[in-house]
Amino acid sequence: MKKRILVLAIIVISGNVFGQRVIDAKFGKGILNVIAADSSWSMKFGARFQTLFVGDVNLHDSLGPIGAESNFLIRRSRLKFDGFAFSPKVKYKMEFGLSNSDMSGVGSETKNTPRFILDAVVQWNFAGNWTLWAGQTKLPGNRERVVSSGDLQFVDRSLVNSKYNIDRDMGIQLRHHFTIGGNFVVREIAALSQGEGRNITAGNIGGYDWTGRLELLPFGKFKSKGDYVCADTKREEKPKLAIGITYDYHDRAVREHGNTKDFMYNDLGYYETDITTIFADLMFKYKGFSIMAEYVQKDAENALATNSDGTFTGDNVYEGTGLNFQLGYLMQNNFEVAGRFTNITPSEEIGGEPINMYTLGLSRYVVGHKLKVQSDISYTTEEGSDDGLMYRLQIDLHF
């Protein structure tokens, strides 16, 4: 019912606003951009979706390369709103997800309801280069996670992100930046969040999540915030480099990945353990070439969930290390060839074998990341398991 009401409201608003009028808006810059007559507020509305085909093949089945599977789906479908309220120093962002993967729930902690809200955050530039964020949004974790899913170099993020990222959460963030020598940019971010992830209605469980991040841009800022956009679509005329380090301490975490995946339970209720995550990453761009690399290490005080008598519950924190390296070259005809190597090494405590994934991607940027066709093929190896081959093809449209 809520989804129907939301869609109906959008249709009614769109009909009243647009009608038969010609809208003075450039493709990819938002469907609607409104500023109040007294300049007391503004709102930009945008929409995007990704149509995806996935094909998987088991290469080492006992009967040969059988067990092929394929799937067509809407990977993401989202509505975005941003602007300022009362003053240009008070900005806001809202993003809502409508696809099944966007809204998938996590059980009673969300009252088993769809999780529409991705972002709902206020950003207050209260003094100089100091800005306070409050609400629900991405934590300042690994670079690949903070990059929008619409600005990726491949069809989707790497295994390093899916295994170890710290994702979205509700809380506050304090951000600051300064420049050394007129060109060297330094950014500092500190965050305090609830720790259970987005759209949790059960209240705080366990402790809080504390995050700190430092970023260094020795050669100055990238064009159009390109340090958080994959592929050198702006073709940087001079070398640009961004280096980031994040430390995250999650006090008494209750989910398998910290603030994502399943909740862990034991005979007393929720199983709690402290989790520490360290990220190191970089982005480099120059004349169509781009490199992005990330390393992560996640450790838990007691990774294996236990009952009060010491018996294993079957749940565990996914701890270990991960490495992701990718590079690409964007040709003058806006075709890009890119390669990616990803390694996942679970800790000895939780068991499991290292996973290696090799990915080759080909993309055609029609209007940058706003209209593009991307395809990639990945070969995955894991000792003790069958090797796998995956092909993906995706169309991304962003108004």
Check residue 17 and give its pLDDT: 46
Q: What is the mean pLDDT of residues 75-82?
A: 95
Asked if pLDDT for residue 207 goes beyond 70, the answer is yes
Domain spans, the chain = 33-398
**Among the listed ranges 30-39, 73-82, 337-346, which one has the minimum average pLDDT value?**
30-39
- Is the pLDDT reported for residue 190 higher than 90? yes
Average pLDDT over residues 3-10: 50
Which pLDDT value is given to residue 2? 52
Q: What is the structure's pLDDT at 5? A: 47
Answer yes or no: are the C-beta atoms of 251 and 277 closer than 8 Å: no
pLDDT in tens, 340-350: 999 999 999 99
Query: Residue 384 pLDDT more than 90?
Result: no
Task: Give residue 66's pLDDT.
Answer: 60
Q: What is the pLDDT of residue 18?
A: 46
CB 176 within 8 A of CB 188: yes
pLDDT category of residue 59 using cuts at 50, 70 and 90: confident
CATH class of 33-398: mainly beta
- Could you give the C-alpha distances from 144 to 87, 174, 195, in angstroms and in order? 31, 21, 20
90-144 pLDDT per residue, tens: 999 999 999 988 887 778 888 888 889 999 999 999 999 999 999 999 999 999 9
pLDDT band at 284 (very low <50, low <70, confident <90, very high): very high
pTM greater than 0.85 (yes/no):
yes
Average pLDDT, integer, range 304-330: 96
CA atoms of 138 and 141, how far apart (whole Å): 8
> Which range among 198-207, 266-275, 328-337, 351-360 shows the weakest confidence by mean pLDDT?
198-207
Mean of pLDDT values over 338-360: 96
CA distance 265 to 358: 35
Average pLDDT, the chain: 91
Q: What is the pLDDT of residue 188?
A: 98
Three-class secondary structure assignment of the chain: CHHHHHHHHHHHHHHHHHCCCCCCCCCCCCCEEEECCCCCEEEEEEEEEEEEEEEEEECCCCCCCCCCEEEEEEEEEEEEEEEEECEEEEEEEEEEECCHHHHCCCCHHHCCCCCCEEEEEEEEEEECCEEEEEEEEECCCCHHHHCCHHHCCCCCCCHHHHHHCCCEEEEEEEEEEEEECCCEEEEEEEEEECCCCCCCCCCCCCCCEEEEEEEEECCCCCHHHHHHCCCCCCCCCCCEEEEEEEEEEEEEECECCECCCCECEECCEECCEEEEEEEEEEEEEECCEEEEEEEEEEEECCCEEECCCCCEEEEECCCEEEEEEEEEEECCCCEEEEEEEEEEEECCCCCCCCEEEEEEEEEEEEECECEEEEEEEEEEEECCCCCEEEEEEEEEEEC
Class of residue 285 by CB neighbours under 10 A (exposed 0-12, middle 13-18, buried 19+): buried
pLDDT (tens digit, 9 = 90+) per residue, 34-44?
A: 999 999 999 99
